[in-house]
């Protein structure tokens, strides 16, 4: 009886999130230059909601981990725990992770999802880019487990 289901869930959640990040990132860049059409408004909005829900859940866990560092996070699987650890590690690496999401707070990054000014849009693009790198690195292990290596 296999336990690959844990890897699958982490892989699928990561995939969903990355698709959402890519869509919003492209849309925001086009929007910044006045090139974004309205024909994909619904998937873009759904993607924003998906990113927001993910960040809100992450914020709760990160807050717990930061306020009680000597206690394990409960009610989450080991892959989610590792994602939180990876996020905290990224926050301590300002040379690589410099966006609002890592330098300021998750809550401020959530606000950027409805960015209206060019400056805020730029901050959103940077935050999404760094979040994407973090998630891609995180699900690499799940990908190897599910798809194998060649």
Partner 1 sequence: MRTILQQSNLDLLREIEQLKAAIHERFKDQDWSASAPDLLPYYKAIVSACNQMHQRVKRNLNHLNLGRDDILEDILSETQELSKQFHFYNRHLLSPLMRYRDSDRLCLRLLRWLHEHHPDTKSIPVGLSDGEFGIWPDPQIPIVYYMPTSAQFGLLYLPLFFHEFGHLLYACHKPELDDLVRDFQQEISALLGPIAERDDAYSKAERAKRTDIIRTWYVWMQELFCDSVGFGIGGPSFAHAFSMYLRMRGRREYQVPEDELTYRGHPVTWLRIRVLADQMRRANFQHEAETLEQAWEIAANTMGINEDYFGYFDKAFLPLIQKTIEDMLVETAPRNFTDDDISLQKPLSPQSSPIHLLNYAWATFLSEPTQYGEWQRQILVGIKW
Footprint on residues 58-117 left by partner 1 (CB under 8 A): 70, 72, 74-78, 81
Q: How far is CA 70 from CA 22, 59, 64, 66, 123, in A?
A: 36, 18, 10, 9, 33
Closer to partner 1 by CB, 42 or 70: give it: 70
Closer to partner 1 by CB, 116 or 149: give it: 149
Residues 6+ apart with CB under 8 A from 124: 24, 28, 100, 109, 112, 113, 115
Q: Is 37 in the site for partner 1 (CB under 8 A)?
A: no
d(CA 25, CA 138) in angstroms, rounded, equals 20
Q: Which residues bind partner 1 (CB under 8 A)?
A: 1-6, 8-9, 11-12, 15-16, 18-19, 21-22, 25-26, 29-30, 35, 70, 72, 74-78, 81, 129, 132, 136, 143, 146-148
């Amino acid at each position: 009886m296999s336990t690959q289901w844990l890897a699958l869930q982490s892989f699928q959640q990561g995939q969903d999130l990355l698709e959402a990040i890519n869509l919003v990132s492209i849309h925001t860049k086009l929007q910044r230059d006045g090139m974004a059409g309205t024909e994909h408004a619904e998937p873009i909005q759904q993607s924003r909601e998906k990113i927001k829900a993910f960040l809100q859940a992450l914020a709760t866990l990160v807050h717990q981990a930061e306020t009680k560092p000597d206690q394990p996070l409960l009610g989450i699987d080991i892959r989610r725990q590792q994602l939180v650890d990876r996020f905290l590690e990224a926050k301590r690496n300002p040379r690589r992770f410099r966006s609002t999401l890592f330098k300021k707070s998750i809550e401020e990054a959530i606000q950027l999802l409805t960015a209206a000014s060019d400056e805020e849009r730029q901050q959103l693009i940077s935050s999404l880019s760094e979040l994407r790198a973090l998630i891609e690195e995180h699900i690499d292990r799940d990908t190897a487990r599910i798809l194998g290596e060649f």
